[in-house]
Each structure stands twice: as structure tokens, then as C-alpha cells.
Amino acid sequence: MGTRRARRYRQHSAADKVAILRQVLLEGQAVSAVCEEHDISPTLFYTWQKQCFENGAAAFAKDDRAEQRDLARTVEALRQRRTQKDRVIAKVTEEFVKTKKELGEL
């Protein structure tokens, strides 16, 4: 009867996972060597890699939201300027028509 050794699974933080992925993806180390160093399976490594690429857009979402807020502010400022310009044009046109009437040209 064989003995079965209970395997303890280590919990890896998000920072740990990124550091491990970085060793392979940016530093060019071999997957097998990195997995052995950190006592993880290559399957787990590739699962993390897949999750990283599938959820990578979330890392940039903060930048996107800030950019959208800036664009919204710019649009609102331009709308206010357009409204003010329309008021000025309406006022000048009204005064022009009034002057033309006074001079009998209309």
C-alpha cells in the first residue's frame, strides 16, 4: 500500500503572480525553470498568464475613466461657450434689427 503525501498549496498574491509571469515574459527565463523555482506547475503558470491577458484591460481602466472625465469636462466647457456665443449673436442680431427699423430700412 503506497503512502500518499498531502500536498500543501501555497496562496500566491497578485503581486507574486505578476512577478512570476514577469520572469518569463519580460526577463526571458524558461517556464520550467521559473515553475520549479516557485514550486508551481506549468499548468498553473499558463492559467495565470491567460488570466493576466484576459483581464489586462482592467489595469488601464483607471486611465480610461480619467480620460473620459477630461473629455466630458471639455465637451461641457465647449457647450457653455457655444451657448454664450449664441446668446451674444441673438442679442447683436436683435439690436441690428431694431436699428434697421429705426432707420426705416426694414
Domain borders along the chain are: 10-55, 60-106
pLDDT at 22: 95
pLDDT at 5: 54
Q: Which of residues 3 and 28 earns the better pLDDT score?
A: 28
Place of cell 469636462: 73
pTM confidence score: 0.51
Confidence of residue 7 (pLDDT cuts 50, 70, 90): low
pLDDT at 31: 96
Provide the angle, in degrees to the nearest 10, between the axes of the packed helices 31-38 and 14-25: 150
d(C-alpha 52, C-alpha 15), whole Å: 12
Of all residues in the chain, the percent with pLDDT exceeding 70 is 91
